[in-house]
Structures are given as structure tokens and as C-alpha cells.
Amino acid sequence: MNFSQYTTKTEEELFSLFKTSAGGLFENEAGQRLKTYGLNQIKTKETTLWDIFLRQIKTPFVYLLIVAAIIAFVVGESTDAWVIAIFILINVTLGLVQEARAERAIALLKKYLPSKARVLRDGIEKTIDKPLIVPGDIILLEHGDIAPVDLYLLKCENLIVDESVLTGESAAVYKTPGPLKKEAKEIFEAKNIVFAGTAIVSGELKGLVIGTGKNAVLGEIAKLVSAIKKESVYEKNLLKFSRLILKIVVVMIVVIYVANLAIKGSTNILNYSVFCIALIVGIIPEALPLIVVFSLSNGALKLAKQKVVVRRLAAVEDLGNIEILCSDKTGTLTEGKMVLDKVFSGDKNKCIQYALLSSAFVKEEIESSLTPFDAAIMAQADGDARSFLNEFRSIKEIPFSPERLINSVLIKPQKGNNILIIKGAPEKIFELSSQFHDGLSLKQVQEQTIKEGKMGKRILAIAYKELNKETYSEDDEKDLIFLGYFSF
């Protein structure tokens, strides 16, 4: 699906294109579209026990051992044949059990994923199974949800989305409704599109479904990935080793046969066959696959204790053989979780308290609704800072937007004037500030933020002022007192 074509269209144009309305589709129309577009799911080939069993057999080394066992049986060397067969059996059984457990764990994890979605049908809100969503549906999502489809934003409030599943970028992005001035060619440019598989970090939204199942961006990626069959480094090395052994065996057999003919003039085929079997059994390390599988299984068990499911044993070897690891431009590896590194302020305690007061936590929502920045600050706050929140309540908020680069909250204390707290990009806070708290200076703060930025840190500045009003507008967001900044 080419999402770009929808990024510059208005709400009315999309309603006309998808033959829908703000009240959503009628049930009978949704049923017809389900027949046309199919279920909203990405079909993947189910891995059965037979598939896993064949995966253990389909290795060059096992092929070599099977051939050696068959020849041994044919020429009467049953002991050698049974020894090789037992090694093959143990090797295959261990791999089968380990990988079958991994597949079962993945299947159980999938059952915990939410399978329902809220949509507008016949003008009312309904909860339906996610596979039944069709293009033209109006869908409702909130913080904690994972988008089941690609959708165009009709309406949202303080919407922050984690797109790392598609872009690899750990920082969540802000989304805004309405058409863009020019078509967004890349995913990260589409500020008015929420893509399937991305997670809603904060806020809530109402959107028009523009792509489902294989026609969503995630579906196209899944189709490309499923078409790629790539051998692991372990499998490639094992194939090279098997070919080397095969070449050595063939060359030695030919050389010895030719030598026999040259010296004796003839050779006994039966004796020569027995000799060849002895040679093959002697050269092939029958226990090698077994030792490798034991080692990989041990690695898989250690990873399982760290809550990592290993689907294929060969992946353990690949993971251990990493020599060059490419990271983002800052050269850091993260857990995808923001961590507060430094508080730069003349009054660090007040800085943290005011940052908490300006967060979504004040609105009596659950802490999972916090932005990554707010969550990082909350994690560093002590008990006194958290109890401080109970002395205030939120009156009004103007949420963050990419155009404003700040968000502001009007807080009412139990006594005294209301407090307007502004939080956002440092350069924007500098513009709005006329005073600097506790001896800080504009030059000093600017130098520090530039220094932090060069180190790859993310900076969040905060300022405030007392406001003897019960409401406010953007015109009131000036003549602030700069309080400090946070480095993440």
C-alpha cells in the first residue's frame, strides 16, 4: 500500500474516497468489504513438528552421516551403522525438542496479545475482533494500544507513538491530524499516519482505516521478509566443513584404489568396500553434531533465563559470532527506554517537582500514560517529590505539538496563585523566558545545552510563572522564569 498518497488529503476527501463517514461504516457494508479485502491479518506459514523435524535432518553433515550408516549396513558393518544411527537420533531429538519448545512459547505469547478493537459502526462505538477491521472503518485507540491497521488521523490528543518496529528509532514521535503540505515518502515523515504494529505511548486518537492485513506497511514488510531465505553463518560453516570431509574421503578412496591397481593389478571389491567404510567412519566425527547441539541448547537455555526465546538453535551460534555491531549515529545501544542522566538547575528538587506537576500524572491517569520523558523523571523522583503532587491539581493544559515544541499546564495549589509550567525544547523555552532562577544565566545554560547535545543527549527544558487566572492562552506563555533542564 502506498500510504504517501493519503498524507496530503483532507478528511472530506478521504471520506469520499473510502465511501465512509465520521460515524463509520454500516455493518452490511463492512461485511461486503471483508469479502473484498479479506481478514485483517498477515498470513504466515505455521511451523509444525514435521517442519521442525525436517529442519534437523536437512543439514549436510547429517546427510553425510546417513549415507555412511546406510553403506555400513549394506557391507555388514552393523555395529558402526548403529553407532552412527544413534548419534543421528540423539542429535535430531535434541534439536526437535528445543525448537518445539520455542515455537510453543511463541504461540502462548501470542495468546496474550489483545485481539479486540474499538470501532465506530452504524454511528455507535463497538468492540470487534481485529481481523474483522476493514478499510473505511473508523477506529479508536488510546495509550497502551498497538495499532492493528494503518490509519489516517482524524482527531488526536497529545498523541505519541513508538514506531521503532518499523523505523528502528527508539525515540517515540508526535503525531498530528490533518493533511501535510507535501506527500510523505518515508514512514518517519508521515506525521498524520499511524501504522500497523506501532504502539501508542501517550494520548488517544480517532482514525480512518486506510490499510489492513497484507496491504498495510507492516504486511508488505512481512511479505518481503518471508520471501528471503537466508542461511546462518553456522549453517554455511557446517556446509563448508561437510564438503571438505567429502572431498578428503573421495580423494583418498580414489588414490588408494588406483594405488591398489598399480601395485597388485587387481583388487577385491568386498575388502575394498569394507576398507572404504572404515575410512569414512574414521574420518567423519560422528559425535560433532551432537556436541554442537548440546552446546547450542545450553546457550538457548541461558538466553531463556534472560527472557529471550530462541526459535532456531543456529541463531545462538550467529549471536555468539557477532564481530561488528552497527548502532545509530550516537554510537549507543539502549533498551528503548528513556533514562534521566542529569538535572541542571539551581534548585534541582523544585525542577523535578515542577516537571512532575506538568506531566500527565497530574490528570489522575495511570503512570503508563506518561511520555518517555515524564516516565524517566518520575522514575528518579523520591517519595517526597511524589507526595508533593497531592497538593496541586491541574486546571488546563495546552498539549505539545511539533509546531509549538512545548506543552504547558496551569496548576492550582491549595494556597496562593496558580502556576503556569512550560516544558519543551530548550531553544523555545529560552525565547519565552525573561528571568533565570537562582543565579543561572542565558549564556551559561545555552553553553551547557549545546555541550550535552554534542554528546548525543536529549534535552528537555522547563520554566514557570505565577498566573492569577483560572484559564490561559498561548499569549500567556511568555515572561517566564527559566528553572532548568533535564538531560536524557
- Residue 261 and residue 119: Cα distance in Å, rounded? 84
For residue 459, the number of C-alpha atoms closer than 13 Å in the C-beta half-sphere is 23
Cell 504486511 locates to 219
Helix (H, G, I), strand (E, B) or coil at 195: coil
Q: Count the Cβ atoms, other than its own, within 10 Å of residue 187.
A: 16
Backbone angles phi and psi of 396, in degrees to 5? -150, 150
Catalytic residue, chosen from 51, 122, 318, 328, is 328
CA–CA separation, 458 and 449 (whole Å): 9
* Contact present, 153 and 175 (Cβ < 8 Å): yes
Phi-psi region of 174 (alpha: psi -120 to 50; beta: other; left: phi over 0): beta
Counts for the chain of helices (H) and strands (E), in that order? 16, 14
Residue 96's CB is within 10 A of a number of other CB atoms, namely 17
341 is catalytic: no
- 3-state DSSP: the chain helix, strand, coil percent, rounded to 5? 50, 20, 30
Beta strands in 296-449 (DSSP E): 342-345, 392-398, 406-413, 418-424, 433-436
433, three cell numbers: 523566558
Write the DSSP assignment of 16-54 as a string of letters: HHHT--TT-B-HHHHHHHHHHH--SS---PPPPHHHHHH
Using CA atoms of 134, 140, 145, 146 in order, give the dihedral in degrees to the nearest 10. Answer: 30
d(CA 446, CA 93): 64
Task: Decide if 152 contacts 208 (C-beta within 8 A).
Answer: yes
Bridge partners of 406?
424
Catalytic residues: 328
